[in-house]
Amino acid sequence: MYKSYSMELAGRTLRVDVGRVAAQANGAALMHYGDTTVLSTATASEKPREGIDFFPLSVEYEEKMYSVGKIPGGFNKREGKASENAVLTARVIDRPMRPLFPKDYRNDVTLDNLVLSVDPDCAPELTAMLGSAIATAISDIPFDGPTSTTQVGLVNGEFVFNPTAEQRAVSDMQLTVASTREKVIMIEAGANEVPEDQMIEAIFAAHAVNQEVIQFIDKIVAECGKEKHSYTSCAVPEELFAAIRETVSPEEMEEAVFTDEKQKREENIRAIKEKLEEKFADNEEWLALIDEAVYQYQKKTVRKMILKDHKRPDGRAITQIRPLAAEVDLIPRVHGSAMFTRGQTQICTITTLAPLSDAQRIDGLDVTETSKRYMHHYNFPSYSVGETKPSRGPGRREIGHGALAERALVPVLPSEEEFPYAIRTVSETFESNGSTSQASICASSMSLMAAGVPIKKAVAGISCGLVTGETDDDYIVLTDIQGLEDFFGDMDFKVAGTHKGITAIQMDIKIHGLTRPIIEEAIARTREARLYILDEVMAKTIAEPRPELSEYAPKIISINIDPQKIGDVVGQRGKTINTIIERTGVKIDITDDGAVSICGTDKEEMAKAMDMIRIITTDFEAGQVFTGTVVSIKEFGAFLEFAPGKEGMVHISKISKGRIDKVEDVLNLGDVVKVVCLGKDKMGRISFSMKDIEQ
């Protein structure tokens, strides 16, 4: 039965149609926010997937170009693999919802969001986030929701909820907050050095808006929601845990995990598994559950050590950062390089500079952004964690980590006018044991400065973890979590910024939300650690951007020409500009307003290209002196080329002060000579003289 529900949300109408389409999905909601339309569906398999020890949730965000009135580019003319924006949106939908499914649920679940139309003032990403929450809440899939998501901008010092396209363009903050009825469950942010207090205020302002939306969703669920289906639990039997504890005591497990060397800890756990496999060799059912049971045993041990005993696996204090090290210029010939090491986490970032024409083109649903000049890419090879597997290109995690670092650094980059370059930083993970994304921010900041990019300030990042007990006030926040504390803990709260304020946040949790005291403590703890890294490590390695670019980096010089002269520089079918490029080896970019950028590594050749463009765009007037090359000789004079497509003639009578019988007596093809412009002759042609050049 088709029902429609609506509410006013941030000054625009949010409408949800239930039962109108996609009736065979477990749950479906046709979402309308302004003129943005997204179909959100939730489906689940009837039986659990066998042989897995995780919840198989897939989240899709499908961008259709028809939604913005475009036909896809390329030969195939249909949508290909998911764009970076689609991947990042799917991750933001996934993160607040995954913790709310039962931990022992192993049925495949897919949340699909199909973007049908886009209103620039009503973000389709936000609409999909709300749609997935509603589709899952009204379905028969077990889910402890609903959730709601709100975006917050900061325009002229004021918070703006679910900002329009115009507001997003001038906002000093792009904050996304997801909530349950009681707590904040996900935070994602990019900001122009927003102070911590203001960020906390924005988070809980969004949380308040989310409560209004959750009340709206509750009404829909009450009228349209299906009864949640039963499922086969994949939890480890308590009898197996009891038998394992008889074989491996809590003290023995604690000793196995209490080490700061990941390899040693893994060796200890391997020995415990072998001991248990031998113990239960005759019980095939229990043998199949050994890995999951040992994982859960480790988890309980680590959580108890931290929460009750305030002991961390590597022996650090709760607020202590692992040993830090940094260096620059370790890679020769690249434009800039830096390495940042924190414990067993090590990142090397390489910076590459190029002309603005190498900026990344974006062919997506955001009609306001068609390219970006700064690109940050993050790679996570298997050797960084001591594993072996073939490289298949960046996955969703790598794309997400790269985008987080990119977001953290954009606020401190110089403008195009200040620094007319496209910039790419690539973070290579050499070793990983917790929070490589934040290490990549530190390494990238130093790499940019080493390359001579005049960033306004250094940026550093750090992550905090969390272990909670039975009540909201029974918890402990951990500074600089390593891999084990991330795996077995409840939170990965990443914050990047400068001395002044926050530039990026990403919060992942495994529990049903965070209280305000936890968020406030985590943000305060990350600030303290961030300032320490900036002052005691990064500033002592490289304090400010280098004044000169690397000798291997391309140099760029710029001039402005009359836009009416652009055609003269380009020439028919690009002949003129291509000739300049061939002769000098430079790269030339021209904008519609007449801004010309010349990029190259040889300053002399760049200067030649600049002179050619100046000559091509100059109106010849009497008295001007030029240097030209003889390209043609006639009986009456010689033709000189001053720049590609720009020629003039010297009459035989103007070649020499003395009388000559033939032009060839003085000039040969290819000669380079100086001439002075005499102005126009009787026929309106520009003429030149060699003999009137002052010696």
Classify residue 244 as exposed, middle or buried by CB count within 10 Å of its CB (0-12, 13-18, 19+): buried
How many other β-carbons are positioned within 10 Å of the β-carbon of residue 330? 12
pLDDT at 30: 98
Tokens of 107: 């049925």
CA–CA gap between residue 509 and residue 653 (Å, rounded): 87
Q: For residue 190, what is the DSSP state? A: E
Over the chain, what is the mean pLDDT? 92
Of residues 543 and 290, which shows the higher confidence score? 543
Of residues 93 and 636, which shows the higher confidence score? 93
| DSSP3 helix / strand / coil % (the chain, rounded to 5) | 35, 30, 35
CA–CA gap between residue 132 and residue 81 (Å, rounded): 21
> Taking 80 as the threshold, does the pLDDT of residue 363 lie above it?
no
Four-residue CA torsion sign, 680, 683, 684, 685: negative
Mean of the pLDDT values across residues 525-541?
Answer: 97
H-run or E-run covering 361: strand 360-361
Residues forming a β-bridge with 115: 38, 63
Domains assigned to the chain:
3-177+190-224 (3.30.230.70), 238-309 (1.10.10), 324-466+516-541 (3.30.230.70), 555-616 (3.30.1370.10), 625-689 (2.40.50.140)
CA–CA gap between residue 337 and residue 478 (Å, rounded): 30
CA–centroid distance for 262 within its chain: 29
Mean of the pLDDT values across residues 78-89?
Answer: 91
CA–CA gap between residue 348 and residue 446 (Å, rounded): 10
- The answer to whether the CB of 107 falls within 8 A of the CB of 47 is yes
Residues forming a β-bridge with 648: 640
Tokens of 91: 């991750």
Q: What are phi and psi of 343, to 5 degrees?
A: 65, -125
Buried b (16+ CB within 10 A) or exposed e, 617-640: bbebeeeeebebebeebeeebbbb
Kindly report, residue by residue over 108-147, the tens digit of the pLDDT: 999 999 999 999 999 999 999 999 999 999 999 999 989 9
CA–CA gap between residue 548 and residue 88 (Å, rounded): 36
Kindly report, residue by residue over 583-614, the tens digit of the pLDDT: 899 999 888 888 888 999 888 899 999 988 98
CA–centroid distance for 131 within its chain: 24
Q: Find out whether the peptide bond into 394 is cis, omega within 30 degrees of 0.
A: no
Q: For residue 526, what is the DSSP state? A: H
- The answer to whether the CB of 235 falls within 8 A of the CB of 104 is yes
The three-class DSSP label of residue 367 is coil
Tokens of 490: 């409840």
The three-class DSSP label of residue 574 is helix
- The answer to whether the CB of 92 falls within 8 A of the CB of 111 is no
Classify residue 490 as exposed, middle or buried by CB count within 10 Å of its CB (0-12, 13-18, 19+): buried
> Taking 70 as the threshold, does the pLDDT of residue 478 lie above it?
yes
Classify residue 695 as exposed, middle or buried by CB count within 10 Å of its CB (0-12, 13-18, 19+): exposed
| Secondary structure string (H, E, C) spanning 68-86 | HCCCCCCCCCCCCCCCHHH
Of 467, 527, 436, 434, the closest CA to residue 311 belongs to: 467
What are the Cα distances from residue 588, in Å, to 195, 358, 434, 599, 613?
A: 41, 11, 44, 6, 10
- The answer to whether the CB of 629 falls within 8 A of the CB of 688 is no
Q: Tell me the percentage of the chain whose pLDDT exceeds 70.
A: 99
Confidence of residue 264 (pLDDT cuts 50, 70, 90): confident
pLDDT at 380: 95
Confidence of residue 695 (pLDDT cuts 50, 70, 90): low
H-run or E-run covering 214: helix 196-224
CA–CA gap between residue 28 and residue 17 (Å, rounded): 9
Q: For residue 423, what is the DSSP state? A: E
Residue 685's identity, in one-letter code, is R
For 238, residues 6+ apart whose C-beta sits below 8 A from its C-beta are: none
Residues forming a β-bridge with 442: none
> Taking 60 as the threshold, does the pLDDT of residue 578 lie above it?
yes
Classify residue 282 as exposed, middle or buried by CB count within 10 Å of its CB (0-12, 13-18, 19+): exposed
Residues forming a β-bridge with 36: 33
CA-based max dimension of the chain = 116
Of residues 361 and 460, which shows the higher confidence score? 460
CA–CA gap between residue 65 and residue 91 (Å, rounded): 21
How many other β-carbons are positioned within 10 Å of the β-carbon of residue 460? 29
CA–CA gap between residue 197 and residue 173 (Å, rounded): 14
| Lowest model confidence (mean pLDDT) among 180-189, 497-506, 570-579 | 570-579
- Rounded to two decimals, the pTM is 0.88
pLDDT at 20: 95
